[in-house]
Structure 1
């Protein structure tokens, strides 16, 4: 397949046309795309029979399903099982690859949506698979490459860039408010009043639907938004300010306690792994 220079649109024909992944032949069908100027690409909630693996080398990917939300920085991959209702957004200067995988060969692959650590081998296999013809002969070199790709997906470590999402409409109102204005450091009492809930009810519902306390859930959201900001090139100081921290030091302390390393070290290690 060619590398697309713009996202596919349902109303367009020819290069960059909309593709139904379930109609494409082969065990694995991969398409690549790149845009050299900053942009934004969104697909509202949809599902397809085939599973998909998304890897962006440039740009930040976000994905939402009914009960989960992922922010995936460059050089991490996102796995979405077949028939999963999901919405995706990609922002920035974009370069990425998406592999659609027939459910007949996904038995040993993750059964739930998750991020995967993209090894250099996984990245190169995915890029190489994007150059395969739509119909490639079974049993040849192309089939061996696809088998290697599937094996590398199965072996990839699962990441921790997941945020459980509540389904209660009142809690989703709180989620929307936090994501729209992450610098708002309102207390649990403040957010409960805005949603028309008691503090106790908010805590109980959030624990039931996400398995997290209010403070732990908001911390995880802050970490994911921080990774998104740093992946876009923002400084640690800018990220801390955007998240409403009174000082950069307090943000760095929170980040280190949660992930075991400072924000700068985390991003440096990710970059080092991506170029090995």
Structure 2
């Protein structure tokens, strides 16, 4: 995982599919942007999906980790405390404007244009000015800790299109349906059906970002009816899969 460091602390990481960073923290808050691919970021017991039109914000001193979904180019920009007050005081995922994207990419370019420290500070102010008013995006994907739920999640991640019921999945891993249902409510804060929809939309984000078409993605992720897929995707992402695909940054 190459890391390119600039004097101001910006970074660029190339992550392989399913590559994780260990839990860590920083003394400064930082912005995380996937220039390519899709990331998930975990902090404070929650996990957020970060597609290519979102930026994650992790304030200083929050334990967190990342996971790549597909080959991912992760960009990081650190934000000084005086500037961070314009951003949420907790981890969040924010809509990314075209201007914010271009500035994030410029700040983290592995072969940056020579700029003074003052110029780089002005660019960071532009990013925060763009992201500060942006709406928070609730793209959550709870990740299980219980080994029984982790095994079920592994099966679903390998085949998100499976139509197996919770009872059938339970029999495959040797756990009763009632026990699994209770574990979902207690640990994930949601039912199996809602969690499965979130997982499928997450996979759809990865496929669309990689260039797959809407119909292909719908079928691969478990929707036989494209209209149902579009409705489920839009409810979580805030735009249709077709629009999300059209608005993906080039390259």
Query: Residue 144 of structure 1 is aligned with which of 116, 119, 122?
Result: 122
Distance in structure 2 (CA, Å) of the matches to 1:71 and 1:227? 9
Structure 1 residues 148-196: Cα deviation after superposition (integer angstroms, max 9, x where no partner): 3233332222123221223322112211221122122210111233344
The residue aligned with 1:109 is: 87
Query: Residue 219 of structure 1 is aligned with which of 197, 207, 227?
Result: 197
Would you say 1:171 and 2:149 are equivalent positions? yes
The residue aligned with 2:22 is: 45
The residue aligned with 2:66 is: 87
Structure 1 gap segments, 5+ residues each: 1-6, 10-15
**Which range moved further: 116-125 or 64-73?**
64-73
Distance in structure 2 (CA, Å) of the matches to 1:79 and 1:149? 12
Structure 1 residues 217-259: Cα deviation after superposition (integer angstroms, max 9, x where no partner): 1111111111211111112232123223345455345445666
The residue aligned with 1:59 is: 37
For normalisation by structure 1, the TM-score amounts to 0.72
Would you say 1:159 and 2:137 are equivalent positions? yes
Correspondence 1:116-265 to 2 at 5 A: 116-130=94-108, 131=112, 136=117, 140-252=118-230, 254-255=232-233, 262-265=240-243
- With over 3 angstroms needed to count, the CA separation of the structure-2 counterparts of 1:135 and 1:176, relative to structure 1, is farther
**Which range moved further: 102-111 or 76-85?**
102-111
CA contact (8 A) 1:25 1:135 kept: no
Would you say 1:8 and 2:7 are equivalent positions? no
The Cα shift of 1:129 comes to 3.0
The Cα shift of 1:73 comes to 2.5
For normalisation by structure 2, the TM-score amounts to 0.78
Distance in structure 2 (CA, Å) of the matches to 1:65 and 1:175? 19
CA contact (8 A) 2:58 2:92 kept: yes
The Cα shift of 1:34 comes to 7.7
The residue aligned with 1:13 is: none
- With over 3 angstroms needed to count, the CA separation of the structure-2 counterparts of 1:34 and 1:147, relative to structure 1, is same
CA contact (8 A) 1:66 1:86 kept: no
Distance in structure 1 (CA, Å) of the matches to 2:214 and 2:174? 35
Q: Which has the higher strand share?
A: 1
SS at 2:141's partner residue? strand
**Which range moved further: 166-175 or 220-229?**
166-175
Distance in structure 2 (CA, Å) of the matches to 1:207 and 1:196? 19
